[in-house]
A and B are shown apart, each in its own frame.
Chain A
Amino acid sequence: EAQVTQNPRYLITVTGKKLTVTCSQNMNHEYMSWYRQDPGLGLRQIYYSMNVEVTDKGDVPEGYKVSRKEKRNFPLILESPSPNQTSLYFCASSLDMYSGNTIYFGEGSWLTVV
């Protein structure tokens, strides 16, 4: 079954404690990205990756890091989380970077920073 899997699904952490949200896709997709969803703001892109070792900033990259060492994995790293990073996070993938291709989303990770 084609899917995007992210972990953890729910996490409560404290300010400043580094955390990683993992993302894995089993569709051999080249393009992967991370979004955060906030009430009244919709989804905003954090980072994206067009292929292995190729990543770039989205609209709201501050406070986040990513890496793409393998095609299937695209972890999101919060080096020093702050309360304003409390949000619902989605990992997504698609066949390649060209529009018109279906984007597949993970089920989301609820992150609370206290």
Chain B
Amino acid sequence: GDSVTQMEGPVTLSEEAFLTINCTYTATGYPSLFWYVQYPGEGLQLLLKATKADDKGSNKGFEATYRKETTSFHLEKGSVQVSDSAVYFCALSEGGYQKVTFGIGTKLQVIP
């Protein structure tokens, strides 16, 4: 079945550092890929998405590129802020249906 792999963390960075959170996936077809963010005490919010190979999703300074050859969708940001502290979930949806498979979530802590 489909699966998403990401490290649990926590990832601790200083403010203005470069962020990479790795995400790899297993799917039988051509999934859509997502990053969701969960701020403390809140539900998940869609951060960005990509629906086909080589697409780049971007939002709020975050970027991720759909790499079919390496089955990856790594999240990057050039300069993190304290307000980026949250849990980040990589996810996929396959077959055109809204069945979403989530990774375990990576906790990011940004310190001043």
The one of A44, A92, A99 that contacts B97, using a Cβ cutoff of 8 Å: A99
User: Do A100 and B32 have beta carbons less than 8 Å apart?
Assistant: yes
Query: Residues of A contacting B93 with CB < 8 Å?
Result: 99-100
B-facing residues in A87-111 (Cβ within 8 Å)? 90, 92, 94, 96-103, 105-108
A-B CB contact pairs (8 Å), 19 listed: A33-B98, A42-B4, A42-B103, A42-B105, A43-B89, A43-B102, A45-B99, A45-B100, A48-B99, A90-B44, A94-B98, A98-B97, A98-B98, A99-B95, A99-B97, A103-B44, A103-B46, A103-B98, A108-B42
* Least Cβ–Cβ distance between A46 and chain B, in angstroms: 13
Q: Which secondary structure characterizes the binding site on chain B?
A: loop
* Least Cβ–Cβ distance between B10 and chain A, in angstroms: 12
The answer to whether residues A106 and B43 also contact, given A41-B104, A42-B102, A99-B32 and a CB cut-off of 8 A, is: yes
CA distance A99 to B93 in the complex (A): 6
The one of B42, B45, B96 that contacts A99, using a Cβ cutoff of 8 Å: B96
Check: A4 CB closer than 8 A to any chain B CB: yes
CA distance A106 to B100 in the complex (A): 16
A-facing residues in B68-104 (Cβ within 8 Å)? 89, 93-100, 102-104
Check: A31 CB closer than 8 A to any chain B CB: yes
User: Do B98 and A4 have beta carbons less than 8 Å apart?
Assistant: no
Query: Residues of A contacting B97 with CB < 8 Å?
Result: 97-99
- Sorted nearest first, the 6 A-B pairs with minimum C-beta distance are A105-B43, A99-B93, A42-B104, A43-B102, A42-B102, A105-B44
User: Do B96 and A98 have beta carbons less than 8 Å apart?
Assistant: yes
B-facing residues in A15-63 (Cβ within 8 Å)? 31, 33, 35, 40-45, 48, 58
User: Do B8 and A103 have beta carbons less than 8 Å apart?
Assistant: no
CA distance A4 to B43 in the complex (A): 10
Check: B22 CB closer than 8 A to any chain A CB: no
CA distance A88 to B7 in the complex (A): 20
CA distance A96 to B8 in the complex (A): 31
